[in-house]
A and B are shown apart, each in its own frame.
Chain A
Amino acid sequence: MSNPLPVVDYLKIPESGDPYLEGHKCGSCGSIFLGARDVCSKCGTRGKLAPTKLSNEGKLYVYSIVCRSFPGIQVPYVSAIVDLDGGGTVKGNLIGVDPDPKKIQFGMPVRVVYKDALGRKDREGNSYLSYFFEPR
């Protein structure tokens, strides 16, 4: 069985060591982007974006509890936007909490965990590694 593929290009699976999220940081203004790029869209500087490893810890910025989605997608789940410590903002599912506004606090500390992509496979039958947030 082949190794899982990354769900997005900014999830890196090194040959050895743990998976991580990768940002690209502008050498001029310090803005962080997800995915490789040549030009910074904040300051317009070209050719100064370098890969940087993002933290696996952060804080919940905002969320929504999604109760209706497209056919085949299991609901409810918590769609979360997380500010990572040291920079970079990512979006993903918040797991390990009840999907109840009373149980979720803005600013709560979360960690990034890496797991199989809910069993989803592509047409060739490949498995994927995804990332999730859980309270810490």
Chain B
Amino acid sequence: MSDVYVVGIDMIKFMKAGTGPAVEALGAQAALMALDDCGLEIQDMEALYCGNLGQAGAMVGQRVLQQIGQTGIPVVNCANACATGATAFREGWMAIKAGIYDVVLAVGVEKMGSGLLGGGGGGGGIPKEGLLGSMTMPAVFAEAGQEHARKYGTTFEQFAKVSVKNHHHSTMNPKAMYQIETPLEQVMGAEMIAYPNTKLMCSVNVDGSAAAVLCSERKARELGLLKRAVRVKASVLTSDPWQERDLVMPDVNTCTRLAAKKAYEMAGCGPEDINLVELHDCFATAEILHYENLGLCGDGEAGRMIDSGATALGGKVPVNVSGGLLSKGHPLGATGIANVYEVTTHLRGEAGKRQVPNARLGMTHVIGLGSACAIHVLEKVA
């Protein structure tokens, strides 16, 4: 089976939710940028894998092609909550791995509303939100963080430090929604949304898109594209194994641990070999959990890890140097490809002020609610 390479990739600068153009135009922008990044044309693409959540039933991939070139190629539209973009990327990876195609395009795109996600509650009768607890995302991830606090004594301040770090990182990323420093007092003193998550500890709803051109080794060589290419060393997708509190508490840990284990096996490396990580900091509480879930530190050590600065730029394993979902922004369907863009940019040595020095191996991670996890490990080639 051929190795698969990212040969072209880009993302638009994320923008305030609701201010972007129509979803197909938004997706088309990133698609063209990714094609330009490797000098290929839409006519060179053999298939399109498109990730979008908000209009999952409305043929977004085909509408993107209606903007940039209707070549008749197969289009697969993917929806997998916040793992949507990564799932589309992985479908492209699989098709090349299987030898079906040599060059494919993956696009992730989302137009967002503003305000709280989640909650609402289905079923008949009366609304359950605020009656049977809360199913809003800030509350769900607050409770997930509180599980860590319960086990290990993790503090509100430690959770808040994640946000300070990621906002700081985003000051060096011109494509992030925000480039604003947020000192600890400001993060902790911001409006409380769902304790322990304040407003500055919640990801930003944005409009955004990102796209990648994936290529087989043979074709990348033939096209002379290996120089800036990045090898996909591992691509893993998991769902949620049964856990006793599943019915009331989405579990972001178990599916991540399962995916991480498989990803390290597939990549033939361990957490100690990873030079940077873009992980799913949908809320500040979540990032702490994933340090342990991804094996970046031992169980119970994540609080100390954020205190030590090990996950800040310049630390042992910088996490979310893009600014993360907390400050770069979180356009649900685009996020999984945007974090591949970030890691690829570092592996190419093109990340400017936020460059992680000598980066050779990077990891991306996304969670779809508590029931999907996608991890990719990417390796510098040249």
Distance in angstroms between the alpha carbons of A46 and B128 in the assembled complex: 30
Q: Which of B11-19, B35-43, B189-197 contacts A (4 or more CB under 8 A)?
A: B189-197
Q: Name the one of A31, A73, A121 contacting B129, with C-beta atoms under 8 angstroms.
A: A73
Distance in angstroms between the alpha carbons of A111 and B290 in the assembled complex: 33
Provide the residues of chain B in CB contact with A33, threshold 8 Å.
247
The interface centre, meaning the residue of B119, B126, B245 with most chain A CB atoms within 10 A of its CB, is B126
Q: Mark A4-28, 1 if CB is under 8 A from B, else 0.
A: 0101100000000000000000000
Q: Mark B139-169, 1 if CB is under 8 A from A, else 0.
A: 1001100110110000010000000000000
Contact yes or no, A74 B130, CB < 8 A: yes
Tell me whether chain A's interface is mostly helix, strand or loop, or mixed: strand
The verdict on A81 contacting B143 (CB below 8 Å), with A64-B195, A89-B245 known, is yes
Distance in angstroms between the alpha carbons of A68 and B116 in the assembled complex: 9
Contact yes or no, A128 B193, CB < 8 A: no
The answer, yes or no, to whether B352 is at the interface (CB within 8 Å) is no
Distance in angstroms between the alpha carbons of A106 and B195 in the assembled complex: 14
Provide the residues of chain B in CB contact with A63, threshold 8 Å.
143, 146
Contact yes or no, B129 A69, CB < 8 A: yes
| Least CB separation from A94: chain B residue | B133
Contact yes or no, A66 B146, CB < 8 A: no
The interface centre, meaning the residue of A34, A91, A107 with most chain B CB atoms within 10 A of its CB, is A91
Provide the residues of chain A in CB contact with B191, threshold 8 Å.
67-68
| Least CB separation from A11: chain B residue | B132
Contact yes or no, A130 B132, CB < 8 A: yes
CB proximity of B205 to chain A, nearest CB, Å: 14
The interface centre, meaning the residue of B132, B194, B244 with most chain A CB atoms within 10 A of its CB, is B132
Provide the residues of chain B in CB contact with A31, threshold 8 Å.
242, 244
The verdict on A64 contacting B146 (CB below 8 Å), with A69-B119, A70-B119 known, is yes
Distance in angstroms between the alpha carbons of A120 and B130 in the assembled complex: 11
| Least CB separation from B243: chain A residue | A42
Q: Name the one of A83, A91, A101 contacting B133, with C-beta atoms under 8 angstroms.
A: A91
The verdict on A62 contacting B147 (CB below 8 Å), with A74-B130, A79-B139, A81-B133 known, is yes
CB proximity of A122 to chain B, nearest CB, Å: 5
The answer, yes or no, to whether A93 is at the interface (CB within 8 Å) is yes
Provide the residues of chain B in CB contact with A74, threshold 8 Å.
130
The interface centre, meaning the residue of A5, A34, A64, A81 with most chain B CB atoms within 10 A of its CB, is A64
User: Can you list 24 residue pairs at the A/B interface with Cβ under 8 Å?
Assistant: A7-B126, A7-B128, A8-B123, A8-B132, A33-B247, A42-B242, A63-B146, A64-B134, A64-B138, A66-B193, A68-B116, A68-B138, A69-B136, A70-B119, A74-B130, A77-B134, A91-B133, A92-B133, A93-B133, A101-B196, A106-B146, A106-B150, A122-B125, A128-B125
Given contacts A79-B133, A101-B156, 16 further A-B contacts (CB under 8 A): A5-B125, A7-B132, A62-B143, A63-B146, A64-B134, A64-B143, A64-B146, A66-B139, A70-B119, A70-B130, A79-B194, A89-B248, A90-B248, A92-B131, A117-B126, A120-B131
